[in-house]
Structure 1
Amino acid sequence: MTVAIRYSVVLAIASLFLLPALANAQSTRLTRLSDRDDLLGWEAVGRLDIRGRGYCSGTLIAPDLVLTAAHCVYDKQTNVLHDPQTPSFRAGLRDGVAIAERAVSQIAVTEQFVPGAALTTEQVRHDVALLRLAKPIVSSDADPFILHSGQAIGTTVSVTSYGQGRSEALSRQRSCNIIAATDDVMAFDCDVTFGSSGAPVFALVGSRGRIVSVISGVGTLDGHPVSLGPYLPANVARLKVQLRNAPRPVPDQIKRLSVGDRNQSTGAKFIRN
């Protein structure tokens, strides 16, 4: 079953400020994380399967919290938020085998995000969701990533994601670039495709990447294709409060999901303009 997000990409170039001195910046090619050694350290990135309706990418930022894009958790036909029992998270999925698989018990989205609306920069800046897992994933299986905040990140980032044609294993682009930014939105030249929605964008800081954004959509900027993502700290902080304040389901009401025919899931997708 093919699912397409009904977004047209409407970007005012004046709303994004091009960053200088990137003409010679080189992006690396995608690398498939094919075996267990390749996957080591990236287990916290997983595939968020929307039962029978496609998939997105997502990342553990705590043992029981998955970060993704808000548009991934809405029904694309009705623009209604999915029931928490609809998605399941498959950490480190590789060729049908996940490091851990969990059902979802709660979903929180930013109030300003409007499902089904055109993908403007205003939509991108609020395209963030947090999912609480029905059961945590222990750090020894998948060590959560933390958000980047504070110091400047420069212009070099990396992306780890699933996508159309590479949905059965993670692919990592070791180096790509922030080519434009505002206070709330960034544009990248990273290689993303259908299903990469919600994928983490990492700052190359210290010995382990820190998440600076998630992939929201794609468009063009100054005649070049770009992927787009929001800044995260303020959005994520509000979503954590939202989850804490929401009533939690009684444990015996949480249904563990079994994964359907994975060959029929072709992704929560963007439409390029």
Structure 2
Amino acid sequence: MIRFLVILCMALSTGATAQTTDLRTLDTDYAAASWKAVGRLDFGRGAFCSGTLIAPDLVLTAAHCLYRAGSAEVWEAQDIRFSAGLRNGEAAAVRRASAAAAHVKFDPTGPLTDTNVAYDVALIRLAEPISTFEVPPFYVHNDRIAPGPVSIVSYGRGRANAQSRQKECQMLERYGDAMVFDCDVTYGSSGSPVFSHLNGRGRIIAVVSGMFDHKGQKRSIGMVLPDRVTELKSQLGMSIAPPTAKIRRITVGGGARSNIGAKFVRP
């Protein structure tokens, strides 16, 4: 824990954030055209997160979004709606969920330590697929991740009706399967995709899990994805049992839990 905090302080002091840009609303058709796969996930009435289409019928988001605030009670799948590219009341596509799965190792009532962050991932299966010609999905990054520039597209409190994009922010440090970013997030940004800047069209390297204050500076945190997504696809396949359409969660067993010494807030 001490070693991690020292490394993080060094990363902050060496100017790693110098090229971080401001968050900007995607307020024109042209600006928003490439990001239609990022949408708003609505839960019941009033609760929302961000999510990303990674296949015609699969949306990637944060696991804690699937639980009612402050509890282990899950939202019914039929109460979940995905609006791809939602902007000023119009969406490229709107779909209801047919099933959803939060990672079995995520503890919704436990502290949001770096260990819990590593499993704060969920997949939502849509009742009807979205045409890839209409909304091309993004792919999950499946290669080495190093500190450096990334970007983020999100919704959030005060900007719930249109996507915002931060063209460049920084991945500052990795601690196990948790990564710290200086990307600008707020409440409602949970599940937002963090993109790599490699090989043309961005690939998702993490989704936003939470935020915390480090020496007066707000930082966001996400997780390494490829293995978690593979596990979730298997879990989601087992969890589908129409017509109940509920989110299935298996109780997490005991084990050691690490902590990077920061207090996380789920946005």
| TM-score for the superposition, normalised by structure 2 | 0.85
- Does the aligned pair in 2 maintain the 1:105–1:248 contact within 8 Å? no
Q: Distance in 2 between matches of 1:220 and 1:63?
A: 37
SS at match of 2:35: coil
**Match of residue 225, structure 1, among 218, 224, 227:** 218
User: Which letter maps to 2:240?
Assistant: P
1:145 is aligned to 138
**Match of residue 176, structure 2, among 183, 195, 200:** 183
- Does the aligned pair in 1 maintain the 2:51–2:191 contact within 8 Å? yes
Q: Distance in 1 between matches of 2:34 and 2:184?
A: 21
Instruction: Decide whether aligned partners of structure 1 residues 134 and 229 sit closer, same or farther in structure 2, where only a CA change above 3 A counts.
Output: same
1:91 is aligned to 84
Q: Distance in 2 between matches of 1:201 and 1:61?
A: 13
Q: Distance in 2 between matches of 1:202 and 1:227?
A: 14
**Match of residue 113, structure 2, among 109, 117, 120:** 120
- Does the aligned pair in 1 maintain the 2:99–2:240 contact within 8 Å? no
- Does the aligned pair in 2 maintain the 1:22–1:179 contact within 8 Å? no
Once the 2 structures are TM-superposed, how far is the Cα of residue 152 of structure 1 from its aligned partner? 3.8
Q: Distance in 2 between matches of 1:192 and 1:223?
A: 15
- Does the aligned pair in 1 maintain the 2:16–2:148 contact within 8 Å? no
Once the 2 structures are TM-superposed, how far is the Cα of residue 247 of structure 1 from its aligned partner? 3.2
2:56 is aligned to 63
1:212-258 CA deviation, whole Å, 9 max, x = no partner? 000000113355321000111111100001122233425xx88xxxx
1:165 is aligned to 158
1:149-202 CA deviation, whole Å, 9 max, x = no partner? 123444110000001111100000000001121230000001111100000000
User: Which letter maps to 2:68?
Assistant: D
Match status 1:45 vs 2:38: yes
Q: Distance in 1 between matches of 2:71 and 2:221?
A: 24
- Does the aligned pair in 2 maintain the 1:13–1:221 contact within 8 Å? no
Q: How many residues align?
A: 244
**Match of residue 235, structure 1, among 228, 232, 236:** 228
Q: Distance in 2 between matches of 1:35 and 1:233?
A: 32
- Does the aligned pair in 1 maintain the 2:206–2:223 contact within 8 Å? yes
- Does the aligned pair in 2 maintain the 1:59–1:68 contact within 8 Å? yes
2:260 is aligned to none
Q: Distance in 2 between matches of 1:222 and 1:185?
A: 19
SS at match of 1:38: helix
| TM-score for the superposition, normalised by structure 1 | 0.83
SS at match of 2:34: coil
Q: Distance in 1 between matches of 2:17 and 2:208?
A: 24
Q: Distance in 2 between matches of 1:246 and 1:117?
A: 23
| Percent identity of paired positions between Structure 1 and Structure 2 | 45
Once the 2 structures are TM-superposed, how far is the Cα of residue 15 of structure 1 from its aligned partner? 4.5
- Does the aligned pair in 1 maintain the 2:17–2:182 contact within 8 Å? no
User: Which letter maps to 2:40?
Assistant: R
Q: Distance in 1 between matches of 2:63 and 2:230?
A: 15
**Match of residue 209, structure 1, among 170, 177, 202:** 202
Match status 1:28 vs 2:21: yes
Stretches of structure 2 that go unaligned for 5 or more consecutive residues are: 246-263
For the aligned residue pairs, the C-alpha RMSD in angstroms reads: 2.0
Instruction: Decide whether aligned partners of structure 1 residues 77 and 153 sit closer, same or farther in structure 2, where only a CA change above 3 A counts.
Output: closer
Q: Distance in 2 between matches of 1:191 and 1:41?
A: 20
1:61-100 CA deviation, whole Å, 9 max, x = no partner? 1010000000000011542121111110000000011110
SS at match of 1:239: helix
1:79 is aligned to 72
1:265 is aligned to none
Match status 1:132 vs 2:125: yes
